[in-house]
Chain A
Amino acid sequence: MSGAGNETGVIGPGAPAVELVEISKRFPGVLANDKVNLAVNHGEVHCLLGENGAGKSTLISILSGMQRPDSGSIKIDGETARIKSPRDALKIGIGTVYQHSTLIPALTVLENLMLGQSRRILLDKGRARRRMEEIAAMLGIDVDSEARTGDLALGRQQQVEIISALWKGSRVLVLDEPTSMLTPQGVEELQKVLLELKQRGTAIIFITHKLHEALAVSDRITILRRGRTVGLLSKEELTGSTPEEIQAKIVRLMFGEEATALEGAAELQTRLADVEKLAVRNAPPRSGDSTGDIVLQLKSVTAHGDGLEPGISDVSLEVRAGEILGVAGIDGNGQRALAEVISGQRRPRAGTIELFGAPVHRHGVSARQKLGLRYVTDDRIGEGIVRSLSVSINLFLKRIGEEPFWNKGRIVPARINAESEKLVREYDIRTPGLASRSGTLSGGNIQKLLLARELSFDPKVVVFHKPTYGLDVRTTENVRATIRRLVARGAAAVLISTDLDELLELSGEIVVLSRGRLVGTVENGRDAAERIGELMIGDTRTTEVVA
């Protein structure tokens, strides 16, 4: 195990930098990895593609030392390496950038970097700064070491994470869904950094759900399904065939042969193709016309945020029946405050909220719920469900004490179970049983549970907060179809999302939230993505130049 010796990692491309051989990992009840093979060369971007639960995260957590495989081996430059902890992985030069930021917002960039690296009692700031500048120069990026990370845009924060991952050497860089939080401009910058690293011989493992991204950045693609390697697309295959052929092939591999037999598989494939081309360009079906009655109206609403999450100030918007109003913005720009102020979880400091023309801003969650207002939270596991309670109770959490499921305060299990069974079937929630603890469900099924709960009993206005975040393609399509069906029935929806593609696919009108304010409205159509992107970074860009 030669560690820090290979800091620059400039080795001729071609030799496999890292090789995972026959990796198996079993969790109780699940075979997460079943003899998975993965070889990544120096100077290569290798994409790992697969549905949720395909075993991608398990595989990289083994590579980064968070988990240990039950069997199989990891070879670094042809030599078997023993990676027992994240520290071991870093020493060998395997750096990982996780989907969610691991930086501490209150600390400066340099402090964050030293936090993970220094084991000495005395901190050596000078040395750390030199190392930081060395890596930044190598990547061709410019970072202020004294800036508080909490003040940086997410793209910048990610760059800091990449520097941190490369601290001990740049042999292998693992990126877990790195683009999910970025603006289109941020994605471009990331691609530049990846190109730079590639030329220096770093092996890059890139994990994503998004097909078009995988095709854009990767040299080779490995596809996982149900814990197994089911396909490896070589560079020749990727460049040799038409995009349509590749997509068809990937979809087949990701979802199995049965995917083609599945009802609506053809539609699924066209959907994927649409996403690739940014569906909007062919003018999407507008979600209803904007002549419906105004059902939800916010007038100059101001509310506090909590902690580092900003609040919202002076937000006014109106939503009409049969419409999906999109709210775009980079994560952490007041989305949570907006969603909660509408749902009633947060009291506004100023302004009024009207539902069907009647003020509701003094009402609590359950009063608004009874009026037909629903909220599908983005924090599914954190606040959406109670993991220790059963699936059926979780389906009824928002109706505790209500007739006919409670009779004068006494629970009527038979009615709850009968209704739950119906909902489980209707929303295709995959659960071992109604009495199973909801915490044992997968992320996609938890989201289906939340949808079932919020969309049952006549919803009229529904706030969706990042409804497809972290879901696989199939569940994503499923959720989007549900939203479309909902507004087709005449309900209204507010779709708060950080996924531009999603907004462009579903919404007719998109407002942009930046630093807690609505900075503009964009009609969906040609160039909508670019205009939204500009509004999103509009006032953050200026501050970053200063920083």
Chain B
Amino acid sequence: MAIATEPRLESPSELDTEPARPPARRGHAFVVNVVRSLVPMVLALLAGALVLLILGRSPVRFYSDVWRYGVELNGWQNSAVLMAPLLLVAVALIVVFRANIWNLGYDAQYLLGATLVAGYGPWLLTHWPTPLAYIALFLMSGAAGALWTIIPALLRAYYGTNEIITTLMMSFVGIDLANILIKGPFQDPTVNIPQTKTIPYNATLPNIPGTQIHIGFLVALGIALVMHYLLTRTSFGLRLQVLGANPKAARHVGINVRRLIISAFLWSGFLIGVSAAIDILGLWTYVRANWNPGYGNSIIPFVFLARLNILAVIPFVAFYAILSTGGDLATQSVNLPTDFLLVLVALILLFMTIIEFLGRRRELGQSYLTQGLKDALRQPLIRRREPK
């Protein structure tokens, strides 16, 4: 094979976008990616410590409590239980994000699935054989999630309507619809609070023997692995990648773009619906009106830190699950609202953006600071000199 020797980068327009470095060795690229993913988390934790110090709390106490309640004793089991729905939501987001489609309607897709499972679960689980009922509930919940993506999917596929807006709008509608269902047909007549009936205790998902982790965790892990294979080794995965990286090329090479957009949406909604089924059958057993665990919003930064790679997202999901499980109690012990965890997630997002920006400039061989920033920093100095 001939080795490229001629200089490239002929047109200036290419320069803006095209990193011209000799191809990094695979191992090197991997290390760079790992560093670029971990640095924002470390920085966010440090910045979080600073915030705690300013608030007069002990960061050491807070972080050691996170560890204690999230990992030690039974903490790790609670964290694992939380991982199950988080992981599936992350996988669902990766499927669409790889095609550069933004399904931001995850809250409604989750809640509609959850509501249906909690609404029909108690009846199905008492009248049908349990395994059959489980399968029916999983499929029903998945179908509800998928159904809720159809309008944005069709609008995007046929009219190019921006799906960020349509999925968000559908999310508002879907959340309210779930509340109507909870307060209406699914309302538990025996209680005064608006909530569904409860899945009988003996009908929840069985635990992995010897632990208090329900098998939903294994199901989620299994689905994640299958989806990873599907995205990286099959023609479907490659088509999604082509569509995401260059939609014009997708059209040029004869990919049925409409069908692909719709199927990516359906997969995503389906997986979110399944995550709801696992979560309700394994952990919550009922749904209360106006309840929203908000998995999607918390997991999005980690999906990007993992560079839309399912295998890579697993440790990130574990990290967040520990932070969330341990953090619930740890925030109480330092007398802060649990919203402090969202501060940490936001800090991760902030540092991720900065690190990505710097990394990108490094790839392009540019200076770390933009020209505008340098000028802005220099400006006051120059002005001050001028009057003399």
Confirm or deny: A27 has a beta carbon within 8 angstroms of a beta carbon on chain B. yes
* B22-37 CB contacts (< 8 Å) to partner A: 22-23, 26
Confirm or deny: B252 has a beta carbon within 8 angstroms of a beta carbon on chain A. yes
Most chain A beta carbons < 10 A, residue from B19, B249, B254, B365: B254
Confirm or deny: A226 has a beta carbon within 8 angstroms of a beta carbon on chain B. yes
Chain A residue contacts of B21, Cβ below 8 A: 28-29
Most chain B beta carbons < 10 A, residue from A52, A389, A397, A442: A397
Q: Are A387 and B1 in contact (CB under 8 A)?
A: no
Among listed B63-71, B106-114, B191-199, B229-237, interface-contacting one: B229-237
Rounded to whole Å, the gap between the CB of A86 and the closest CB of chain B is 10
Q: Which of A28, A55, A401 contacts B235 (CB 8 A)?
A: A401
Among listed A197-205, A433-441, A483-491, interface-contacting one: A433-441
Rounded to whole Å, the gap between the CB of B259 and the closest CB of chain A is 11
Rounded to whole Å, the gap between the CB of A271 and the closest CB of chain B is 20
Chain A residue contacts of B252, Cβ below 8 A: 345, 365, 375, 377, 383-384
Q: Per-residue 0/1 for A427-458: is the Cβ within 8 Å of any B Cβ (1 yes, 0 no)?
A: 01111111111011111010000000000000
Confirm or deny: A218 has a beta carbon within 8 angstroms of a beta carbon on chain B. no
Q: Which of A431, A436, A439 contacts B18 (CB 8 A)?
A: A439
Known: A401-B235, A411-B234, A440-B20. A30 touches B248 (CB 8 A): no
Among listed B89-97, B239-247, B276-284, B326-334, interface-contacting one: B239-247
Chain A residue contacts of B256, Cβ below 8 A: 364
Q: Are B9 and A30 in contact (CB under 8 A)?
A: yes
Confirm or deny: B210 has a beta carbon within 8 angstroms of a beta carbon on chain A. no
Confirm or deny: A1 has a beta carbon within 8 angstroms of a beta carbon on chain B. no
* A32-B8 Cα distance, complex, nearest whole Å: 7
Confirm or deny: B350 has a beta carbon within 8 angstroms of a beta carbon on chain A. no
Chain B residue contacts of A432, Cβ below 8 A: 3-4, 22-23
Chain A residue contacts of B289, Cβ below 8 A: none
Q: Are B8 and A428 in contact (CB under 8 A)?
A: no
Residue ID in chain A nearest B247 by CB atoms: A383
Confirm or deny: B12 has a beta carbon within 8 angstroms of a beta carbon on chain A. yes
Q: Are B8 and A437 in contact (CB under 8 A)?
A: no
Q: Which of B2, B3, B238 contacts A393 (CB 8 A)?
A: B238
Confirm or deny: B339 has a beta carbon within 8 angstroms of a beta carbon on chain A. no
Shortest beta-carbon contacts, A-B, top 7: A365-B254, A401-B235, A366-B254, A383-B248, A61-B12, A28-B365, A28-B21
Chain B residue contacts of A443, Cβ below 8 A: 10
* A452-B19 Cα distance, complex, nearest whole Å: 24
* A32-B23 Cα distance, complex, nearest whole Å: 18
Confirm or deny: A388 has a beta carbon within 8 angstroms of a beta carbon on chain B. yes
Residue ID in chain B nearest A343 by CB atoms: B252
Q: Which of B7, B22, B255 contacts A226 (CB 8 A)?
A: B7
Q: Are B1 and A445 in contact (CB under 8 A)?
A: no
Q: B interface vs A, CB < 8 Å?
A: 1-12, 14-15, 18-23, 26, 233-236, 238-239, 241-242, 245-246, 248-249, 251-256, 365
Chain B residue contacts of A344, Cβ below 8 A: 254
Q: Which of B4, B11, B233 contacts A431 (CB 8 A)?
A: B4
What are 20 inter-chain pairs, A to B, with CB distance below 8 A?
A: A27-B365, A28-B365, A29-B21, A30-B20, A31-B7, A99-B11, A344-B254, A379-B248, A381-B14, A383-B251, A383-B252, A384-B252, A386-B242, A393-B238, A400-B242, A409-B234, A421-B1, A431-B4, A434-B1, A439-B18
Q: Are A57 and B10 in contact (CB under 8 A)?
A: yes
Chain B residue contacts of A32, Cβ below 8 A: 7, 9
Known: A383-B246, A398-B254. A445 touches B7 (CB 8 A): no
Rounded to whole Å, the gap between the CB of A356 and the closest CB of chain B is 19
* A388-B9 Cα distance, complex, nearest whole Å: 17
Q: Told that A393-B238, A431-B4 touch, could you supply 7 new A-B pairs with CB distance under 8 A?
A: A27-B8, A52-B6, A345-B251, A382-B246, A421-B1, A430-B5, A436-B23
Q: Are B4 and A365 in contact (CB under 8 A)?
A: no
Q: A interface vs B, CB < 8 Å?
A: 27-32, 51-58, 61, 66-67, 99, 226-227, 344-345, 364-366, 369, 375, 377, 379, 381-389, 393, 397-398, 400-401, 406, 409-411, 421, 424-425, 428-437, 439-443, 445
Q: Are A397 and B253 in contact (CB under 8 A)?
A: yes
Chain A residue contacts of B12, Cβ below 8 A: 57-58, 61, 66-67
Residue ID in chain B nearest A402 by CB atoms: B235
Q: Are A409 and B236 in contact (CB under 8 A)?
A: yes
Residue ID in chain B nearest A29 by CB atoms: B22
Number of A-B residue pairs, CB cutoff 8 Å, is: 148
* A434-B365 Cα distance, complex, nearest whole Å: 24
Residue ID in chain B nearest A436 by CB atoms: B23
Q: Which of B10, B236, B241, B246 contacts A53 (CB 8 A)?
A: B10
Rounded to whole Å, the gap between the CB of B372 and the closest CB of chain A is 11
Residue ID in chain B nearest A32 by CB atoms: B7
Rounded to whole Å, the gap between the CB of A58 and the closest CB of chain B is 7
* A485-B384 Cα distance, complex, nearest whole Å: 70
Q: Which of A29, A385, A421 contacts B20 (CB 8 A)?
A: A29
* A435-B24 Cα distance, complex, nearest whole Å: 11
Residue ID in chain A nearest B235 by CB atoms: A401
Q: Are A67 and B15 in contact (CB under 8 A)?
A: yes
Q: Are A53 and B253 in contact (CB under 8 A)?
A: no
* A295-B12 Cα distance, complex, nearest whole Å: 42
* A348-B276 Cα distance, complex, nearest whole Å: 46
* A344-B12 Cα distance, complex, nearest whole Å: 33
Rounded to whole Å, the gap between the CB of B136 and the closest CB of chain A is 28
Q: Are A58 and B9 in contact (CB under 8 A)?
A: yes
Chain A residue contacts of B248, Cβ below 8 A: 379, 382-383
Q: Are A430 and B234 in contact (CB under 8 A)?
A: no
Q: Are B233 and A411 in contact (CB under 8 A)?
A: yes
* A389-B3 Cα distance, complex, nearest whole Å: 19
Q: Are A445 and B4 in contact (CB under 8 A)?
A: yes
* A424-B20 Cα distance, complex, nearest whole Å: 21
* A366-B26 Cα distance, complex, nearest whole Å: 33
Q: Are B1 and A424 in contact (CB under 8 A)?
A: yes
Q: Are A53 and B6 in contact (CB under 8 A)?
A: yes
Rounded to whole Å, the gap between the CB of B250 and the closest CB of chain A is 8
Chain A residue contacts of B242, Cβ below 8 A: 386, 389, 397, 400
Q: Are B235 and A442 in contact (CB under 8 A)?
A: no
Residue ID in chain A nearest B2 by CB atoms: A430
Rounded to whole Å, the gap between the CB of B233 and the closest CB of chain A is 6
Rounded to whole Å, the gap between the CB of A523 and the closest CB of chain B is 33
Residue ID in chain A nearest B242 by CB atoms: A386
Residue ID in chain A nearest B239 by CB atoms: A400
Residue ID in chain A nearest B251 by CB atoms: A345
Chain A residue contacts of B3, Cβ below 8 A: 430, 432
Q: Which of A28, A55, A226, A385 contacts B249 (CB 8 A)?
A: A385
Rounded to whole Å, the gap between the CB of A536 and the closest CB of chain B is 26
Q: Are A365 and B253 in contact (CB under 8 A)?
A: yes
Residue ID in chain B nearest A411 by CB atoms: B233
Chain A residue contacts of B14, Cβ below 8 A: 381
* A506-B238 Cα distance, complex, nearest whole Å: 37
* A32-B6 Cα distance, complex, nearest whole Å: 10
Known: A67-B15, A387-B245. A409 touches B235 (CB 8 A): yes
Rounded to whole Å, the gap between the CB of A430 and the closest CB of chain B is 4
Q: Which of A410, A411, A433, A442 contacts B1 (CB 8 A)?
A: A433
Residue ID in chain A nearest B6 by CB atoms: A53
Most chain A beta carbons < 10 A, residue from B8, B18, B21, B251: B8
Chain B residue contacts of A384, Cβ below 8 A: 249, 252
* A131-B2 Cα distance, complex, nearest whole Å: 54
Chain A residue contacts of B26, Cβ below 8 A: 435
Q: Are B1 and A431 in contact (CB under 8 A)?
A: yes
Q: Are A441 and B4 in contact (CB under 8 A)?
A: yes
Known: A433-B1, A439-B18, A441-B4. A386 touches B23 (CB 8 A): no
Q: Are B236 and A30 in contact (CB under 8 A)?
A: no
Rounded to whole Å, the gap between the CB of B362 and the closest CB of chain A is 10
Rounded to whole Å, the gap between the CB of A139 and the closest CB of chain B is 26
Rounded to whole Å, the gap between the CB of A166 and the closest CB of chain B is 21
* A458-B234 Cα distance, complex, nearest whole Å: 25
Q: Are A425 and B1 in contact (CB under 8 A)?
A: yes
Q: Are A28 and B20 in contact (CB under 8 A)?
A: yes
